């Protein structure tokens, strides 16, 4: 098969981890007889520096034409202390999500047996955890009307959802639940918010179309607790944009393998794959960042965007092997153990693939 | 001194835990020569059952006249599965907060050396944790305009904050930080929300009035992570209503002593003290609920509402003693250990106070 992949390396360690994901993807393509064309494009702080906006039209066109988008990370410290600056990298991210129609952010949290002791949680709490959040990504308070009144003394952000927006996200949730253990948890704040009541009634109405799926409804504050107490009691969770932002980040650290968690954003026009970690500015250029989350995101891309399960499994298998043999970057190595550079890990994976 | 305390036992285990807090408070009052008049009033599901509304006017008047309010818990399963029922217990809670002007919810999370192994976190992660959230409680998306449009197909919730609302909450935060280690963290989502930008700029402008306080600004998703990773790196945190709802609940479970965490809601008219746990319907009437969070809430009341530090310390000391000697309810006892009933714990505390 032939693929055209838009390559958005972004800022900070983005280019370094993307580089390794490209290496590994190319090796997989070679092994399985596919042909990948990579089309690099600018986004984030580097796009602001180059052309003044964080998500240039040219980048958008490249993404629209691509079969999938592989994304690194964006964000630069020079924008961190001024969230009201007129142009900011995050705006690029939000614009990209909206313009590409990436309405469902798929964020798995799972554990690797060899890394379980890295978790801040006790072993018996985290063992067996394998959950997936589906976060709505193009609606809610992120995209509602916002502004100031009373000469700047009052600020407002409007949270808006339509039934159709909830349905398309929930549909993905039900479908995903059907491929897993048929348990779906709808996370809302229906005891306070009208948007949450719309979420809940919409999901309730869909239950009859998926009679095999057991649906539970939990308040966001309760989920924030149970994720720390019994993360392994969850399977598929669906939620709105802001709750998803908070809970998926909370979930990402419980496994102790944050540097390893991949993600996908799927939607109406294309789909995008990215590590969940940030641009890690302090590590930029040092060749020490952990490339595995990006490489596992590439695996998700092979499986979900191209339907190539075997290829995805091959990537996951070699990543597992590197973990078991301790061929890892410094963030994953036990104290005193030998550690490897970002590019060395990529090279090792390629060598062990073929 | 003489005090008039409104007693809102509420639903579920509320009356049982409140009962023990009254016992202990009366014993303290006797010991230190104070006189407490308790005025019971209805709220929650029991108020709906009795008079049709969850926060009756009569209850409000009793609270307004009281020197402080001691609150149990509200909520009943018969309302759980229908968040769109016309009358619900939570509405009483929100109305009470608004009408009593309880704009600052004070939620400490700390550890007890004897209970540290109850935490889902590893010992080295949780040890030394002693943080306090100040959650804004009468503004934001909880109280903004909400409703439906397009024949019910679109739902909206408006999040609104004024500078004055932020200032009065932040002022409490700065003041609290001054009595502790002079570290204040403002939690927001200023990279996305206009209300968060108002929060941030308002707090930034107040920094000059508290030159000794070191202020940090963190995004809500980052805090959701760090609370699990390094809770002991936080001290005083201030945040808006919805973020506070989620993060304080997350914080409450990391200590492993949720059944022990007290809270206060302070405001313009009076202040209210309550355990952070819920109404625990399954345990209702069984005399097994842990009364310590309510008793420690009473200690907060003595100290903060009445300025009686010695009395508060006496309560905390005897609670500590019960923990050390294992005179505790079943939720806190190690497997196989003898456990005590709710009322037995209260009696023991009273006996050991005098
Ligand atoms: C950078 C920020 C706008 C973004 C979000 O809140 O969606 C990030 O936290 C994320 O989760 O991808
Ligand atoms: C019951 C609910 C309305 C309430 C809230 O969200 O404020 C509760 O979760 C709390 O934190 O006190």
> The tokens of A85 are what?
């600056």
**Dihedral sign for Cα atoms in the order B120, B125, B130, B132:** negative
Distance, in Å, from the CA atom of B290 to the CA atom of B260, rounded to the nearest integer, reads: 8
Q: Which residue of B83, B194, B222 is in closest CB contact with A147? A: B194
Kindly list the structural domains of chain A, giving each domain's residue range(s) and its CATH number in brackets, ordered by start: 1-100+270-354 (3.40.718.10), 104-259 (3.40.718.10)
Q: Whose CA is nearest to atom 2 of ligand 2?
A: B90
Chain B hits for A194, CB-CB cut-off 8 Å, are 146-148, 155-157
Q: Which of the residues A55, A79, A142, A273 is marked catalytic?
A: A142
Q: Which of the residues B189, B210, B234, B280 is marked catalytic?
A: B189
Residues 6+ apart with CB under 8 A from A211: none
User: Which atom of ligand 1 lies at the shortest distance from residue A75's CA?
Assistant: 1
Q: Do A94 and B198 touch (CB under 8 A)?
A: no
pLDDT of the residue at B81: 66
Nearest chain B residue to A94, by CA: B192
Contact B24, B350 (CB under 8 A): yes
Task: Please return the burial class of A178, using the count of CB atoms within 10 Å of its CB with bins 0-12, 13-18 and 19+.
Answer: middle
pLDDT of the residue at A19: 98
Band the pLDDT of A139: cuts 50, 70, 90: very high
Task: Please return the burial class of B250, using the count of CB atoms within 10 Å of its CB with bins 0-12, 13-18 and 19+.
Answer: buried
Average pLDDT over residues B157-168: 98
Distance, in Å, from the CA atom of B109 to the CA atom of B249, rounded to the nearest integer, reads: 10
Residue of A141, A162, A277, A278 to mutate when probing chain B, most B C-beta within 10 A: A141
Percent of chain A residues past pLDDT 90, beyond the cut: 90
Say whether A135 counts as a known binding-site residue.
yes
Band the pLDDT of B66: cuts 50, 70, 90: very high
Q: Could you tell me whether strands A236-239 and A183-188 are parallel, antiparallel, or unpaired per DSSP bridges?
A: parallel
Q: Do B220 and A245 touch (CB under 8 A)?
A: yes
Contact B254, B121 (CB under 8 A): yes
Band the pLDDT of A81: cuts 50, 70, 90: low
Distance, in Å, from the CA atom of A280 to the CA atom of A300, rounded to the nearest integer, reads: 22
Average pLDDT over residues B190-202: 96
Nearest chain A residue to B117, by CA: A122
Distance, in Å, from the CA atom of A251 to the CA atom of A228, rounded to the nearest integer, reads: 8
Say whether A245 counts as a known binding-site residue.
yes
Distance B234 CA to ligand 2 centre (A): 23
> Catalytic: A189?
yes
- Site to probe by mutation for ligand 1, drawn from A102, A107, A245, A279 as the one with most ligand atoms within 8 Å of Cβ, is A245
Q: Do A141 and B193 touch (CB under 8 A)?
A: yes
Q: Do B193 and A150 touch (CB under 8 A)?
A: no
> The tokens of B197 are what?
């930008």
pLDDT digits 0-9 by tens, B6-29:
999 999 999 999 999 999 999 999
Cα radius of gyration (chain B): 20
pLDDT digits 0-9 by tens, B112-126:
888 898 999 999 999
- Measured in angstroms, the CA of B115 and the nearest CA of chain A are apart by 15
Between residues A80 and A44, which one has the greater pLDDT?
A: A44
Element (H, E) at A129: none
CA angle A305, A247, A108 (to 5 degrees): 30
pLDDT digits 0-9 by tens, B273-325:
999 999 999 999 999 999 999 999 999 999 999 999 999 999 999 999 999 99
Chain B hits for A279, CB-CB cut-off 8 Å, are none
Q: Compute the count of residue pairs across chains A and B with CB atoms less than 8 Å apart.
A: 174
Q: For residues B208-233, b (16+ Cβ closer than 10 Å) or e, as one string?
A: eebeebebebbbbbebbbbbbeebee
**Dihedral sign for Cα atoms in the order B87, B91, B93, B96:** negative
> Catalytic: B249?
yes
- Measured in angstroms, the CA of B102 and the nearest CA of chain A are apart by 17
Band the pLDDT of B205: cuts 50, 70, 90: very high
For chain A, what is the mean pLDDT?
A: 95
Q: Locate all alpha helices (DSSP H) within chain A, ordered by sequence.
A: 14-32, 45-51, 57-65, 77-80, 89-99, 123-126, 163-179, 194-206, 220-229, 241-254, 292-300, 309-324, 342-353
């Amino acid at each position: 098969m032939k693929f055209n992949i838009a390559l958005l390396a972004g800022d900070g360690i983005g280019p370094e981890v993307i580089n390794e994901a490209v290496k590994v993807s190319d090796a997989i393509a070679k092994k399985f007889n596919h042909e990948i064309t990579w089309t690099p494009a600018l986004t984030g702080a580097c796009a602001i520096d180059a052309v003044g906006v964080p998500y240039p039209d040219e980048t958008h066109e490249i993404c629209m034409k691509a079969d999938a988008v592989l994304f690194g990370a964006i964000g630069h410290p020079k924008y961190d202390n001024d969230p009201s600056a007129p142009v900011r990298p995050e705006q690029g991210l939000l614009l990209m999500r909206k313009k590409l129609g990436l309405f469902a952010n798929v964020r798995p949290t799972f554990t690797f047996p060899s890394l379980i002791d890295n978790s801040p949680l006790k072993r018996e709490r985290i063992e067996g955890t394998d959950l997936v959040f589906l976060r709505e990504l193009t609606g809610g308070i992120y995209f509602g009307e916002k502004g100031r009144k009373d000469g700047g003394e009052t600020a407002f952000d409007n949270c808006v959802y339509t039934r159709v927006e909830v349905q398309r996200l929930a549909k993905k949730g039900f479908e995903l639940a059907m491929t897993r253990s048929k348990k779906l948890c709808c996370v809302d704040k229906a005891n306070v918010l009208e948007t949450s009541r719309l979420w809940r009634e919409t999901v309730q109405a869909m239950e009859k179309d998926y009679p095999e799926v057991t649906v539970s409804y939990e308040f966001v504050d309760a989920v924030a607790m149970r994720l720390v107490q019994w993360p392994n009691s969850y399977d598929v969770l669906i939620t709105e944009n802001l709750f998803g932002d908070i809970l998926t980040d909370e979930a990402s650290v419980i496994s102790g393998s944050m540097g390893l968690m991949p993600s996908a954003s799927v939607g109406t026009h294309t789909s995008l794959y990215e590590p969940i970690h940030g641009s890690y500015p302090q590590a930029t250029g040092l060749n020490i960042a952990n490339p595995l989350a990006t490489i596992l995101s590439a695996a998700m891309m092979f499986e979900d965007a191209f339907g190539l399960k075997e290829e995805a499994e091959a990537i996951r298998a070699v990543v597992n092997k590197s973990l078991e043999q301790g061929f890892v970057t410094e963030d994953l190595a036990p104290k005193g153990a030998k550690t490897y550079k970002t590019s060395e890990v990529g090279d090792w994976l390629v060598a062990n693939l073929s």
